[in-house]
A = this chain, B = another copy of it.
Amino acid sequence: MVTIYDVASRAGVSAATVSRVLNGKKVREPYGELVRAAAEELGYQPSRTARSLRLQHADVIALIIPDIENPFFTSLARGVQDRAREDGYAVVLCNTDDDPVREREYFDLAVAEHMAGALLAPASSTSDVSPLLKAGRAVVAIDRHVDQDLDTVIMDNHRAALDATTVLVERGFRRIACITGPEDVETASQRADGWRAATLTAGRDPAGLLEHGDFRMDSGREAMRAQLDGADPPDAVVVGNSLMAVGALQAMASRGMTPPDFGMAVFGDLAFAPIVPAGIVIIETPARELGSAAASLLLARIKGAEGASRTVVVETKIRA
């Protein structure tokens, strides 16, 4: 491995001068030129490890997410990575499978690796990030709040669900059901609340039209089936994410129903669907923006931004 001393002796200067040149501090010519030439010729790569140890701070951030195979989180990761790269930070992807134990292991890893900070899409609102906070690392919550005072980046789930439901009302649907996520998940209940508000505003009764799934495909199918087989079935549905929407469409299809005759609004797109029935209202979940906004907040904190925790709300768009 070529070290800073190799460059120094080749350029005929001290290691301190090499360090200064390579970190953009002013030096007298021709030292700058000599150092740059020597570094180039030797193919010098400064050791980020040594640098991190010295500075007690690595240009690395952790992105801790529940499920790397969920397209929402991969887009989010994409947004984080692009933003981090701009500032020269590397991103370590940590997959928790919604397991609090694994989440905790990654907190410890982030500390042990001297990572500058962590972005957390929490497995649960009770996730305890104090190991990170105690070690002085910046933390930003994404998509959901945690029970601690943290910078947070979310979308306006209530508003989006309300608007999408209103579009269905305006299209003349009479009984609009809602399939959302687990009761104890913030984003799920916000979406249900938005749907309920729009329903009440339209003078309809939401009773019996709300289903809780688990954001996976099968639960969407089950929930839709339950609604369709009920005594007074709906003529439209608002679905809390795209995987459950896929399941719901399957349940509809097995009963010969399909949009646009049956109304539908969905959080997230159906990008990988070969055949998307027309007339589905898409609530675009801005996963990439969520990621890049969170990364921006985190990087600002890392660079020393002070002040109370902020919550950034990223815009959703309705494509109808």
Q: Show the binding face of A for B, using Cβ within 8 Å.
A: 1, 43, 45-50, 52-53, 56, 58, 60, 68-69, 71, 74-75, 77-78, 81, 90-95, 108-109, 111-114, 131, 135, 242-243, 245-246, 249-250, 253, 270-276
Contact = CB atoms under 8 A, between A and B. Distances in A.
A242 to B, nearest CB: 7
A22 to B, nearest CB: 12
Copies of this chain assembled into the complex = 2
A43 B108 CA distance: 10
Contacts of A91: 92-93
A171 B113 CA distance: 57
Given A49-B112, A91-B92, 11 more contacts: A43-B131, A45-B111, A49-B49, A49-B114, A68-B78, A78-B95, A90-B92, A90-B109, A93-B93, A246-B273, A246-B274
Contacts of A68: 74, 77-78, 81
Contacts of A276: 274
A131 B1 CA distance: 11
Contacts of A60: 92
Contact of A95 (B56, B81, B270, B271): B81
B78 A45 contact: no
A15 to B, nearest CB: 16
Contacts of A58: 49
A51 B288 CA distance: 35
Contacts of A274: 245-246, 249-250, 253, 270, 273, 275-276
